[in-house]
Each structure stands twice: as C-alpha cells, then as structure tokens.
Structure 1
Amino acid sequence: MAIEMEAVRFGYRGAEVIRGASFAVPEGSITCLLGRNGSGKTTLIRLVNGILRPQAGSIRVDGHDVALSPRPAVARRIAFVPQEHQGVFPYGVEELVVMGRNPHLSLISRPGRRDFAAARAAMEAVGIAHLAGRDYMQISGGERQLVLIARALTQETPYLLMDEPTSHLDFSNQHAIMAIVRRITRERGVGVLVAMHDPNLALAFADRVVMLREGQVYRAGPAAEVMTPEHLQALYQMPIDVVALPDGRRIIVTEAR
C-alpha cells in the first residue's frame, strides 16, 4: 500500500520541470521532499494530488492511476494541507474542519452526525478542540495550520500531502506541528508526503527523504542513509556537515557566509 511515482515527467510551456522522477510513499511513514527553490517540490505535490497530470510516466495510489481516477475518488485517498489558507469568509473552526468530509458527501447532502464526530475527533487529535467555536481568522498562524491539518484528517484518507506546512511559523510551532504529524502517522498509519525547506526538520522527523535537484530525484531512501554531508552538499551547493549530539540526535550545520 503506497503512493508510487514511476518515471514521471512534467513541464510548463515547453520547459521541463520534473525529469523522470520515481519514488514511493509507504503508509505509516513520513517522506520528505528536499531541494532548493525551483527544484520541483510543489509541482510534485500537485502531480500526486491530481491537480496536474504527468506528461509521461505514472502516479498510482494503492495501485490506482491518479490521472485516470475521478476527482472525488482521489480526494477519498489523499488529503492536502497547503502552506497557509487566507480565508475570505469568517468560518468557525469546526465549520472549516468539517469541510474535510466533502469528498464523502453528495452534492446535495449536508454534514451529519458522523461527519461532525469525525471533525471533533480530528480536532482532539491535533489539540484544538477548545477552538471549535472560534473564528478561523481570529486565531494564530500556528493554530490555523493545525486547523488545516485537522480538516485533512477529517477526510479520513490513508495519505496526506503537505506543501511546506511550517514555512510561515516560528521555531517552536514548526517543531510542535511536525511532532503532531509524526504522532498521527504512527497512530493512524497515514502515509505523509511533505515538501520542506529546512533539512534539520527533515532529519528530525522524516522516515524517508527524497532529494530533488533540477527536477530529478538525486537521492531517495531512509533519512539516515540519504542525509549525509556529501549528499547535502551536492543538493544545496554549499559546505555542510552532519553532527552527532551526545543524546544520539543529529543536526545539520554549515559555515556562515
């Protein structure tokens, strides 16, 4: 059971952005996309989510080709958490979270008891049940990101896509949110594909890492094997070292420029 990408190619207006990418996202693990700006991370997330279609190759979710699947069917297998959500209408937190049930509802039906129960369970899981009655636009950035994660969990999908979900958050909230994602991954067996800028976050939380360089998969595999000084230096084109701490954790350091 996995998201499988095989020899995928994609480009915009004749300029190829993804060049023969192949990797897998297994259930019950966090797979992190790492790469410099413009390496194709967001494009890959959109391809997996079915927003874009590969121009060559295939993307399968548990054996089903995403490009050939109806949009509601994809939404019942994959949930998406964006970088941030700039709301227009003053939705309440619970109201926004229960929207995650939309792929399970018909065009004319409204959320019922089971749908609100799923929303409440998701809010409990990420620790925001106390915000249920609040205005989404009146809570902090970290809380809004947790609302988006809860909405995705309410879809009850086996896979979760996240496009740089911590990029606008402070250091504390970055680690808090990734710790919640890791716990949910373990408890629910969800397969997570997350695009990140910060390799230290990937080193701390990812089970697997896919390094993208100019649209190609440069390295992919278990985080401990992929995130070596040599691979990181080649990826980011700068001096990098990986230092082991006394408690066994590792951190990435570089020279000040």
Structure 2
Amino acid sequence: MDNISLEIPRHSFTVILGANGSGKSTLLSVASGVLKPFSGHVEILGKPLDYYSRRELARTVSVLPQDTSVRFPFKCGDIVRMGRYPYKRRFHLPSTRDREAVERAMSITDTAPLVDRLITHTSGGEKQRVLIARVLAQETPLIMLDEPTSAMDVKWSLRVLAIMKGLCSKGLKTVLVVMHDINTAVQFCTHLVFLKKGRVFASGTVDEVLKPEILEQVYEAPASIYRPPGFVRPQVIFSPDPDTAG
C-alpha cells in the first residue's frame, strides 16, 4: 500500500471494496493496529494509535479478522465471554455488566442456543455469528470486520449487516467493514471506500462514489447502475467485455 490518506466519519457504516489484491485486508490491519505502517500514522477517535495501551485499544476497537478458524474446542459461550477480557480485573469473577453484555450479544446474534456447543462443532456461518457476538460483547465504539458474512446464508448476511447499520444509525458505533459483495454493501452502508492497487481510488457517500465511471476503473469491467422496483438503494450490474466474452 502507498500514500493512503483516509478519514472514516464517526458513526458511519463504511465498507471497503476493491478487486482482489487491492489492499483491503491490509488497510484494515493497519487501521486496527495489527500491522504498523512504514510511514505516517493512524489516529483513532482523534488520538494516535501508538498512544493507546493494549487494554485501552481493546476497549476502543473490536476486530473480526478474515481468518475465523478456531482450533481449540472452546464452548461458544466462552468464546463470546472472551470479548470481556479488556474489562476483567485479575482474580475477579465476571461482573453483572460482563454477564449482561454477553447475554445481549448472543441474543442479538441468535447464538444463545449454541452457548454450550463446542466452537469446533459449528458450521462456518454459526462460527462467524459467535465471533460477531464476541465483537459486540466487547462494547467498543469502533468495530472493524473483514468479510464478516462470507460463510453465512442470505438470511444471516442481511441480518448481521442490519445489526451493524442499526448500531451506527443510533450513534452507538462506527463500523468499518471489508466486503466483496457490492450490491449487498450498498443496501446498508453510508459510505464506500474503493481501493485500487494499494491506493484509495474513491471514497465518499454511496451517492457520491457509486458511479459507473468509478466502478469500471476499479473493477476493470463494464458497469451499469439501476434501481430495481422496491429497492431504496441502487444495484450494480457488471457485464462481460464484448471483446473477451466470445
């Protein structure tokens, strides 16, 4: 990645999009502090990332990486309770707030029935929901998710994104998500960031940047935008290049 300059509006639901290898996951890793930039700096809520202690950062940013593999047979309830680690005092039992945060997160994600099931005995979609419950139980103002619905069916993909949209709309969270499905993304997000070859090609509200000329340069395919009956937001159609379609 090179020469990235980007500001995520507070309480926005921002989705990072772009072709494979454009730097989406790398950008999220740098923004969350997992990777250090070679130059420049990252600020979170107006404070340089380097100024945060590990515990303070964990109380500010919760992250769901792209790789959600869990190799140890923890119970799903224990996985979600791990989200409360930044608030735990050594040698103290979970507080009432800890228990309520875990119960609320598992209720929202409909993972309460999985509380005693081993995470290694869940489907890919169930595992993602449990890990999203952990993120919610962490109760941070900023949430970063990398392909959070990749293993979910349509019903739960839409529901999880609706949950994130609701948290932003109420002014409770700022959410930054990496996705590939542009048509699903635009139904929920407030802002889009398009990356190309490690740089920000375009960023802004959906209305500002969801344009054929931008999409065609980012994805290198002919693009059209239309609004199906009953849809509040537009949809994108990519068509084959006539010179290569055969």
Q: C-alpha separation between the residues in 2 aligned to 1:87 and 1:188?
A: 32
1:252 and 2:236 equivalent?
A: yes
User: Which sits farther off after the overlay, 189-198 or 64-73?
Assistant: 64-73
Structure-to-structure mapping, 1:4-153, within 5 angstroms: 18-106=1-89, 108-153=91-136
Q: Per-residue CA shift, 1:79-138, capped at 9, x if unaligned?
A: 011234222222112111010011122455453333122111111222322322222222
Bigger fraction of residues in strand: 1
SS at match of 2:78: helix
Instruction: Give the corresponding residue for 1:241.
Output: 224
Instruction: Give the corresponding residue for 1:7.
Output: none
Instruction: Give the corresponding residue for 2:215.
Output: 232
Seq. identity, %: 35
Preserved CA contact (<8 Å) 1:29 1:185:
yes
Q: C-alpha separation between the residues in 2 aligned to 1:221 and 1:165?
A: 22
Instruction: Give the TM-score normalised by structure 1.
Output: 0.86
Instruction: Give the corresponding residue for 1:159.
Output: 142
CA shift, 1:188, in A, is 5.8
SS at match of 2:3: strand
Aligned match of 1:206 in 162, 171, 189? 189
CA shift, 1:63, in A, is 1.3
* Aligned residue-pair number: 240
Q: C-alpha separation between the residues in 2 aligned to 1:26 and 1:106?
A: 33
Q: Per-residue CA shift, 1:143-170, capped at 9, x if unaligned?
A: 2211111101111100000011122334
User: Which sits farther off after the overlay, 87-96 or 229-238?
Assistant: 87-96
Q: Structure 1 residues 45 and 142 mapped into 2: Cα distance closer, same or farther (>3 Å)?
A: same
SS at match of 1:86: coil
SS at match of 1:20: coil
User: Which sits farther off after the overlay, 107-116 or 52-61?
Assistant: 107-116
The one-letter amino acid of 1:66's match is: L
Q: C-alpha separation between the residues in 2 aligned to 1:106 and 1:41?
A: 35
Q: C-alpha separation between the residues in 1 aligned to 2:111 and 2:144?
A: 20
Structure-to-structure mapping, 1:162-177, within 5 angstroms: 162-177=145-160
Question: RMSD of aligned C-alpha atoms?
Answer: 1.8
Aligned match of 1:184 in 167, 174, 197? 167
Instruction: Give the TM-score normalised by structure 2.
Output: 0.90
Preserved CA contact (<8 Å) 1:27 1:189:
no
Q: Structure 2: give runs of 5+ residues left out of the alignment.
A: none
The one-letter amino acid of 1:255's match is: S
User: Which sits farther off after the overlay, 102-111 or 58-67?
Assistant: 102-111
CA shift, 1:53, in A, is 1.3
Instruction: Give the corresponding residue for 1:11.
Output: none
Instruction: Give the corresponding residue for 1:8.
Output: none
